Amino acid sequence: MLSYMLQKERKLKDIVRSGNCIVRKFQKQHEDELEHEQMVAQVGLKLISRALNMSKLRKEQVIWCHEKLHKIMFLTRKIVQVEPSFLLFPC
């Protein structure tokens, strides 16, 4: 699951990095919705990363990370889709 998370992090970084290109900034093709989806995906991946780095991790917490990770999908190189979810981290 850790390698799957790292793959998604790399894809998201590539998408964000390509959005920072000067040419793209001049073209003004960024939509607020896409930027919001990218931000939500970044926050989700950061939460999963921190949860997986915890010293004591229970089965429910691993399942939570797995479900949260599968809600982040990459449709194309430029579009990130995050299914809305309010999965709370199990204590």
Please write the tens of the pLDDT for every residue from 34-85. Answer: 777 888 888 888 988 998 899 898 999 999 889 888 888 887 776 677 777 6
41: how many CB neighbours lie within 10 A of its CB? 23
Segments in 1-91 forming alpha helices (H) = 2-19, 22-27, 32-52, 59-70
pLDDT at position 24 over 70:
no
In the predicted structure, residue 30 carries a pLDDT above the cut 60:
no
The predicted structure's pLDDT at residue 6: 85
| pLDDT for 2 | 77
pTM: 0.66
Q: What are phi and psi of 31, to 5 degrees?
A: -105, 150
Average pLDDT, whole number, for the chain?
79
